[in-house]
Amino acid sequence: MVNEQGIVDKIVSKNAVIRIQRSSACAKCESKGACQALSDKEVLIEVPNDLQAKEGDTVEISVPASSLLKLSMLVYLLPIFALIAGSYGGSTLAQEFNLHSALCSIGGGIIAMSITFYLLKIFDRASASKAEYHPKMTRILSSCLPPQSGDSI
């Protein structure tokens, strides 16, 4: 599991919006633009509030490492393989029909990558309902409870 800590920013219906400090890994991430970035140092993530956390609580959220690895492989490696296969297919097709090899190779790569991105978009929509790809609140680290008015020492 990949774990991060954050503070519950607000409660929306049955979900909690968690404010997370960007880690050093975020600086090197190519997908950092896809996060809901509040600033260069903070990100908002909405997760189911299964633990009944309150606003201001410090919580831990987790994503299964296997899901993260699977998605990373799909998003980063699949388009590269599609580009290589499409370029090879375009080049082979050009030789067979006596066309300009470089242009057909570029065209084949572009077509293969376009198809791959379209399929990834379909996969993204289909996997949006699968819980294995969503972060989960795993525990409340510290609770921010208001003082009770009837308490006396």
* pLDDT tens, the chain, 153 aa long: 788 899 999 999 899 999 988 766 555 554 555 455 545 678 888 899 999 999 999 999 988 888 888 888 899 999 999 999 999 999 999 999 999 999 999 999 999 999 999 999 999 888 878 888 888 999 998 887 665 555 555
Q: What is the pLDDT of residue 89?
A: 96
With 0-12 CB in 10 A as exposed, 13-18 as middle and 19+ as buried, what is 39?
exposed
- Angle 78-96/101-127 helices, nearest 10 degrees? 150
Q: CATH 2.40.50.140 in the chain, residues? A: 2-63+133-142
3-state SS class at 5: strand
- Classify domain 2-63+133-142 at the CATH superfamily level: Nucleic acid-binding proteins (2.40.50.140)
At 151 the pLDDT is 52
Alpha carbons 124 and 73: distance in angstroms, whole number = 14
Only one residue has tokens 């899901």, namely 67
In this predicted structure, what is the pLDDT of residue 28? 52
**How many other β-carbons are positioned within 10 Å of the β-carbon of residue 42?**
16
Mention every residue, 6+ apart, whose C-beta is less than 8 A from residue 88: 105, 108
Per-residue model confidence (pLDDT) at position 83: 97
- The residues that bridge with 11 in the sheet, in sequence order, are 16
Q: How confident is the model at residue 81, as a pLDDT?
A: 97
Q: Which residue has the tokens 């609770």?
A: 143
